[in-house]
C-alpha cells in the first residue's frame, strides 16, 4: 500500500537531466530520481543549517561588546553612500 499519493511535476529544463539519469540505468523510474534529489537537498540544507547554528553560537560566545543597531545602520548608510558616489564617478568617466 502506498504511503503517499502521486503528484504531477513540471520539470522544465531539468527534464533532460531526469531523462539522462533514467537512460543511464542508474534509476528505474522518475520517482527514484526525485526521491534521491530530495534526499540530497535535505542533506545540503542540514549542512547549511548547522553552519548557521555554529555562526550563531560563535557570535553569542564572542566576548566583544555588542554594537548598537543604530551604529551599524549608520555605518552601512555611509558605506553605501560612498559606493554610490564612486559608482557615479566611474559612470561619468565612462560617459565622457
Angle between helices 14-24 and 30-61 (to 10 degrees): 120
**Long-range CB pairs of 55-59, under 8 A, 24+ apart, other chains included:** none
Domains of the chain: which residue ranges?
A: 13-64, 67-96
- Write out the three cell numbers for 4: 503517499
What is the C-alpha separation between 8 and 12, in angstroms, rounded? Answer: 13
For the chain, give the mean pLDDT. Answer: 92
pTM of the model: 0.61
The pLDDT assigned to 1 comes to: 61
Residue 18 main-chain phi, psi, to 5 deg: -60, -45
**pLDDT for 94:** 72
Q: What pLDDT is stored for residue 4 in this prediction?
A: 83
pLDDT above 80 for 89: no
Distance from C-alpha of 10 to C-alpha of 30, rounded to nearest angstrom: 12
Amino acid at each position: 500500500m502506498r504511503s503517499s499519493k502521486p503528484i504531477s511535476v513540471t520539470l522544465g529544463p531539468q527534464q533532460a537531466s531526469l531523462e539522462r539519469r533514467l537512460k543511464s540505468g542508474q534509476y528505474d523510474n522518475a520517482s527514484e530520481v526525485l526521491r534521491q534529489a530530495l534526499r540530497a537537498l535535505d542533506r545540503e540544507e542540514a549542512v547549511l543549517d548547522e553552519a548557521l547554528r555554529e555562526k550563531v553560537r560563535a557570535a553569542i560566545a564572542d566576548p566583544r561588546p555588542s554594537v548598537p543597531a543604530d551604529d551599524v545602520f549608520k555605518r552601512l548608510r555611509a558605506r553605501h553612500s560612498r559606493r554610490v558616489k564612486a559608482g557615479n564617478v566611474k559612470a561619468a568617466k565612462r560617459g565622457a
